[in-house]
């Protein structure tokens, strides 16, 4: 199943500790970690947050530890959760941003954000009264805080770019 997949997408909706508990209970944590070490891997929304070492959502909780850093509440005067369309600013182009432009809009639904230890892992950010990480990338591990599946043409391009990575010739 995961072992035979050419690439893996880790989705996520809900609270960080509940998602991590569910992943552990499923018995798939080790398979997910092996997949992230070997093949294209994409975390979406909470799935992106789970890539990091820790989260402060609800209670302190350990994540998958694939990327150094933590998850914290967005510090903004704007209403939380952040729900809606926001423009991307591309900081570090990568395979998933191919064909995207600064200012392309994507759809967000979240109250917590990644705080990567290494700014080089930040591929894209958005402005929500503060700089909010929108996409992370490190090697074959990618994460989108936004929902590409709900983000129109920009999101479709990202998902197509990820699919191309799984073909092995990208």
Question: Which residues, in sequence order, are CB contacts of 102 under 8 Å at separation 6+?
Answer: 87, 88, 89, 90
Which listed residue (45, 61, 138, 144) is catalytic? 45
Known catalytic residue: 167? Answer: no
Which listed residue (53, 56, 131, 149) is catalytic? 149
Known catalytic residue: 147? Answer: yes
Distance CA 164, CA 160 (A): 6
Question: Which residues, in sequence order, are CB contacts of 40 under 8 Å at separation 6+?
Answer: 6, 7, 8, 140, 142, 162, 165, 166
Question: Which residues, in sequence order, are CB contacts of 156 under 8 Å at separation 6+?
Answer: 148
Known catalytic residue: 92? Answer: no
> 133, exposed or middle or buried, with CB in 10 Å at 0-12, 13-18, 19+?
buried
Angle at the Cα of 58 from the Cα atoms of 54 and 61, rounded to 5 degrees: 25
Catalytic positions are 45, 147, 149
């Amino acid at each position: 199943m995961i072992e035979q997949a050419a690439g893996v997408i880790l989705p996520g909706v809900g609270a960080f500790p509940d998602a991590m508990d569910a992943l552990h209970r499923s018995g798939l944590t080790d398979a997910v970690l092996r997949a992230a070490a070997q093949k294209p891997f994409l975390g979406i929304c909470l799935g992106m947050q789970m890539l990091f070492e820790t989260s402060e959502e609800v209670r302190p909780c350990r994540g998958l530890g694939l990327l150094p850093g933590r998850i914290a509440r967005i510090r903004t005067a704007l209403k939380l959760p952040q729900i809606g369309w926001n423009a991307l600013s591309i900081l570090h182009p990568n395979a998933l941003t191919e064909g995207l432009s600064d200012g392309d809009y994507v759809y967000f639904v979240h109250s917590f954000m990644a705080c990567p230890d290494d700014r080089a892992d930040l591929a894209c950010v958005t402005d929500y009264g503060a700089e909010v990480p929108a996409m992370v990338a490190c090697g074959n591990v990618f994460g989108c805080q936004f929902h590409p599946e709900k983000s129109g043409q920009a999101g479709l391009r990202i998902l197509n770019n990820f699919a191309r990575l799984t073909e092995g010739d990208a």
